[in-house]
A and B are shown apart, each in its own frame.
Chain A
Amino acid sequence: MKTRRVAVRALTFTSLSITLVFAAFPVYWMINTMLATDSELYQSGQSFWAHLERFGTIPFLLNDVPIFKWLTNSSIIAFGSTFLSLLLALLGAYALSRFRFHGKGLAGFLLFSTQMLPEAFLVVPLFALFGSLGLLNGLLGLVIANTTFTMPVALFIMKSAIDKIPYEIEESARIDGCPRYGQLSMIVLPLILPSVAAAAVISFFDGWNEFLFANTFISDSEIWPASVGLASFIGQYSTPLGSVMTAAFLFTLPAVIFFLIVQRQIVSGLTAGAVKG
């Protein structure tokens, strides 16, 4: 019995270590590459140990890449689609959770369908539509396109949060003379704030990471978001790889930090969205 226990323990330790290396290595390699020069990378061979002492050179590395302009564009897209998504989603979630009306099931299905509909299937007709609306080659078009896919996720997250609030609390407010919209803004909204935060983070990073629409709709490199800007370095070698990696690292950092903070809500939110359809 005892030897078996030791064996189980050893096995656990080994497999966990392998997974940990599997998960962490590419991230480590990103940092390692950031701090390596092109001649090391392509000629003498990259050192396995990262040149951490070169961290001070990072600001200089960024001179090669207009990353801050691109990150600004990414933030505009992300904030815009977050704001729009949350606004539409809050109202819709309240309706789906608290009201009964004809076509409610249909509305729920329409919202759910966005989750199984690949963006790429819509990119062609959206391109055609935005072309005629003059929304191509502008950040507003990206905000709109992203919201189509993030709003339903936010909506389902908030709906499942509202579902958990006892109905009596709103009825109580109604007795106290609070109208419907007041019940939403003064009672329901404060109570679902954690879920709203999770929905906000999810929407933000959908907008932050989005590539397909941006790559298709935006031709002017001035208004590229960071995802498209960084992808433009693939297959071209004139910019030092260390600089590209540094820019990618900056692009990654906010995503990772936010994700780790609200990780739990995000995971339950994403699955809630899928299951509660």
Chain B
Amino acid sequence: MPVLVEDEKDVVHNSKSSPRKNRLKSHSRGFSRWAGYLFIAPAIIYLAIFLLVPFARGIQLSFTDSVLVNPSGGSFVGIENYANLVTSARFWNSLGATLTYTATTVFFSMFVGTTTAILVNRKFRGRTIVRAILTFPYAMPSVAVTLVFIWIYNQSGGILNRTTGALGLGEVGWLTDPSFGMFSVVATTVWKVFPFVMLVMLAALQSVPEELFEAARVDGADSLSTFRSIVLPHLMPTIRVVALLMTIWSIRRFEIIFLLTGGGPVEKTNTLVINIYQRAFSEQQLGAAAAIAVLGLILSLAVTVVFFLAERRENVKEGTS
């Protein structure tokens, strides 16, 4: 079939992209390597000074008994700080608080965020306004958030207790009662961060190809099974990434907890980050604080590594690596 000859070449031509990519990568090898170093140098030097040096200093501090007023004056104490930590109930409590806080925050913000995204993905009048209102909390600075919530949680004048009082349930020390402290902190955090999950999920939902829905409709699938078999698999990669971000950010989070409860009541919300701060700046023990930081860093590293290993396995399974 003679006419095929030309067509065939076109097909071959289209598949050209992979050798081209290779070529471009290798192209910049020889002559421009130094230029590459030149462009990356400022960022790396900056991080070396203000990230790596403090990082190394932090590790070094963790082996000393340095105090706040004289950070360089401490003497080497070996692994004493670490030994004290692993034998102290306070540290394990702090680790437990971190895990509880992270797990509940991630779960609820993922749940609320994803459901809301599905809800506002439908078409209805005023959708833009609704979405704008729903994103509000994320844009609000944490300090402002805590100011409002402290007042909402207020023992006597707060709207929560006035409501429970009116309902005859009595007053609750939302931020002072040990059985409610963690709840209040988590609720505030979820309020603040769920819009982020919602926005990312919304973007992912909108990227579900329309043909898939049509195909499902043709196959006579109802909306629930459409969701399960089409939308959810499409969302999974995004869900995984957002869950990782949420986890890392939860381990990192400081202001909301610090300003709402300061780690109380009775250390119920004393996460590692709060614990470090208190050790360093209230109790002035820099060495001990640095040791907690090192252990905490190992924890967040472990989370990330586990995530990337899982992600890689997932990619291999899907053949998309």
Q: Is B133 in contact with A20, judged by CB distance below 8 angstroms?
A: yes
Q: Which of A100-144 contact B (CB under 8 A)?
A: 100-102, 104, 107, 110-111, 113-129, 131-132, 144
Q: Tell me whether A125 and B141 are in contact in the complex, defined as CB-CB below 8 angstroms, given that A120-B254, A151-B46, A155-B43 are known contacts.
A: no
Q: Which residues in A have their C-beta under 8 angstroms from that of B28?
A: 98-100
B17-57, CB under 8 A of A: which get 1 and which 0? 00000001110110011011111101110110011111101
- Select the stretch in B89-97, B176-184, B273-281 that faces chain A: B273-281
Q: Is B40 in contact with A124, judged by CB distance below 8 angstroms?
A: no
Of the candidates A16, A26, A121, A260, the one whose C-beta lies within 8 Å of that of B276 is A121
A19 within 8 A of B: yes
Of the candidates B26, B54, B289, B303, the one whose C-beta lies within 8 Å of that of A126 is B54
Q: Is B273 in contact with A120, judged by CB distance below 8 angstroms?
A: yes
Q: Is B37 in contact with A101, judged by CB distance below 8 angstroms?
A: yes
Of the candidates A33, A101, A107, A128, the one whose C-beta lies within 8 Å of that of B71 is A128
A33 to B294, CA, bound (A): 42
Q: Is A107 in contact with B54, judged by CB distance below 8 angstroms?
A: no
Q: Which residues in B have their C-beta under 8 angstroms from that of A119?
A: 252, 254
B172 within 8 A of A: no
Q: Tell me whether A260 and B40 are in contact in the complex, defined as CB-CB below 8 angstroms, given that A115-B248, A211-B254, A275-B241 are known contacts.
A: no
A49 within 8 A of B: no
Q: What number of residue pairs across chains A and B have CB atoms under 8 A from each other?
A: 287
B153-165, CB under 8 A of A: which get 1 and which 0? 0001101001000
B138 within 8 A of A: yes
Q: Tell me whether A259 and B276 are in contact in the complex, defined as CB-CB below 8 angstroms, given that A20-B130, A209-B141, A251-B141 are known contacts.
A: no
B196 within 8 A of A: yes
Q: Which residues in B have their C-beta under 8 angstroms from that of A120?
A: 252, 254, 272-274, 276-277, 293
A101 to B32, CA, bound (A): 9
**Most chain B CB atoms below 10 A, which of A115, A123, A125, A209:** A125
A184 to B32, CA, bound (A): 14
Q: Is A255 in contact with B289, judged by CB distance below 8 angstroms?
A: no
Q: Is A19 in contact with B112, judged by CB distance below 8 angstroms?
A: yes
Q: Is A125 in contact with B133, judged by CB distance below 8 angstroms?
A: no
Q: Which residues in A have their C-beta under 8 angstroms from that of B149?
A: 26
B115 within 8 A of A: yes
Q: Which residues in A have their C-beta under 8 angstroms from that of B75?
A: none
Interface size on B, residues (CB 8 A): 100
B255 within 8 A of A: yes
Of the candidates B39, B52, B58, B255, the one whose C-beta lies within 8 Å of that of A212 is B255
A213 to B291, CA, bound (A): 19
B300 within 8 A of A: yes
A169 within 8 A of B: no
Q: Is A100 in contact with B143, judged by CB distance below 8 angstroms?
A: no
Q: Is A23 in contact with B134, judged by CB distance below 8 angstroms?
A: yes
A10 within 8 A of B: no
Residue of A nearest to B199 (CB): A267
A22 within 8 A of B: yes
Q: Which residues in A have their C-beta under 8 angstroms from that of B46?
A: 88, 147-148, 151
A24 to B276, CA, bound (A): 34
Q: Tell me whether A111 and B35 are in contact in the complex, defined as CB-CB below 8 angstroms, given that A211-B254, A274-B245 are known contacts.
A: no
B217-255, CB under 8 A of A: which get 1 and which 0? 000000100000000000000100110110010011011
A256-274, CB under 8 A of B: which get 1 and which 0? 1011100110011011001
Of the candidates B53, B148, B290, the one whose C-beta lies within 8 Å of that of A29 is B148
B113-146, CB under 8 A of A: which get 1 and which 0? 0011001101000000010111111111111111
Q: Tell me whether A259 and B138 are in contact in the complex, defined as CB-CB below 8 angstroms, given that A26-B152, A92-B42, A116-B300 are known contacts.
A: yes
Q: Which residues in A have their C-beta under 8 angstroms from that of B264?
A: none
A228-254, CB under 8 A of B: which get 1 and which 0? 001101100000010011001101100
Q: Which residues in B have their C-beta under 8 angstroms from that of A33?
A: 148, 151
Q: Which residues in B have their C-beta under 8 angstroms from that of A75?
A: none
22 contacts between A and B (CB under 8 A): A15-B119, A23-B134, A26-B145, A45-B162, A95-B39, A110-B52, A120-B274, A122-B51, A124-B280, A124-B286, A125-B57, A128-B72, A128-B286, A147-B46, A151-B43, A151-B47, A180-B35, A211-B254, A234-B150, A256-B139, A270-B196, A274-B245
On A, residues with C-beta under 8 Å from B are 8, 12, 15-16, 19-20, 22-24, 26-27, 29-30, 33, 41-42, 45-46, 87-89, 91-92, 94-96, 98-102, 104, 107, 110-111, 113-129, 131-132, 144-145, 147-148, 151-152, 155, 167, 180, 184, 205, 208-209, 211-212, 216, 226-227, 230-231, 233-234, 241, 244-245, 248-249, 251-252, 255-256, 258-260, 263-264, 267-268, 270-271, 274-275
Closest 4 A/B residue pairs (Cβ): A99-B36, A92-B43, A259-B139, A95-B39
